[in-house]
Structure 1
Amino acid sequence: MTTQAQLDDRYGRTARPRAVLAFWIAVALVAIGGTVWLGWSTVSRTLHAVGVDDLGYTVRDEHTVEVSFQLSAPPGRDIACALEALDAEFGVVGWRIVEYGADGRHARSHTETIPTVAQATTGLVNSCWVT
């Protein structure tokens, strides 16, 4: 004859403290590992971030646009920026990549000239990155 303890054991109704403890330890380790990875990826991404603020543009003539902007970049790192000039239909009529050497300052202001192939109506900074 089968006893109640044998039935409980057979159908999993008994407490298994080691299995439960191992499960929760594994869950805690995965959660801690995920939090550490997320934190480090966020910090490492912001260490190399470059912020750009367009300050204005001036259309000098049919073949030239000046763009003024300010960079916020990690001190001591080389920076490159893609500048563009657009026409009335937002078509690109001028494009230029400029590079800036390492500087000890966090924020820098620049004014650059973009040569164009047609009359531009605006000039802007497309993007900047650490080189």
Structure 2
Amino acid sequence: MTTPEQLDERYGRTRRRRAPWIIAGIVAILLVGGYGWGIVAQSMNQVDADDLGYTLVDEHSVDVRFQITGVQGKDVVCIVEALDEEFGVVGWKVVEIPAGDSHAQALAATIPTVAEATTGLVNTCWVA
């Protein structure tokens, strides 16, 4: 007499194992969770800088006004540049901003230049 197990094996009806699918599901959940946490952690330390304007003081300096947003209670460092007509850097300065209690801070920096500048702007900012 033929047993049900022999019939299942003969006709390709085998019992599926659930353990590999459960393990794969757990690994997928951990990967998605880790990726999500990485995005959240990165955005918590993100600094946005907006140029508010500039004033050409003379041929050897430029005043740059800018605003930073996104961090509270952490020191921030920004690179502020002065550019000439051909967008070449003619002066730059590292501006260290102490931790503040507000979400946004308006700042100004005077950039010394080696040639006459036509504009001033914030290149980048980061949490120190």
Instruction: Note whether the superposition's TM-score is higher than 0.5.
Output: yes
Aligned to 2:113: 116
Task: Give the superposition deviation at 1:6.
Answer: 4.8
SS of 2:26's partner is helix
1:99 and 2:99 correspond: no
Task: Give the superposition deviation at 1:23.
Answer: 2.4
1:61 and 2:58 correspond: yes
TM-score between the two structures when normalised by the length of structure 1: 0.87
Aligned to 1:52: 49
Count of aligned residue pairs for this structure pair: 127
Equivalent residue for 1:88, pick from 85, 109, 125: 85
Aligned to 2:13: 14
Task: Give the superposition deviation at 1:123.
Answer: 0.4
Task: Give the superposition deviation at 1:16.
Answer: 2.3
1:32 and 2:33 correspond: no
SS of 1:77's partner is coil
User: How many percent identity over aligned positions?
Assistant: 52
Extract unaligned runs of 5+ from structure 1: none
For residue 9 of structure 1, what is the amino acid of its counterpart?
Answer: E
Extract unaligned runs of 5+ from structure 2: none
**Runs of 4 or more consecutive aligned structure 1 residues displaced over 4 Å after TM superposition:** 3-8
CA RMSD of aligned residues (A): 2.1
Task: Give the superposition deviation at 1:116.
Answer: 0.2
For residues 3-32 of structure 1, the C-alpha deviation after alignment (integer angstroms, 9 at most, x for no partner) is 996586378x13223x2x112212211221
SS of 2:46's partner is coil
TM-score between the two structures when normalised by the length of structure 2: 0.89
Task: Give the superposition deviation at 1:106.
Answer: 1.1
Partners in 1 of 2:23 and 2:48 — Cα distance? 40
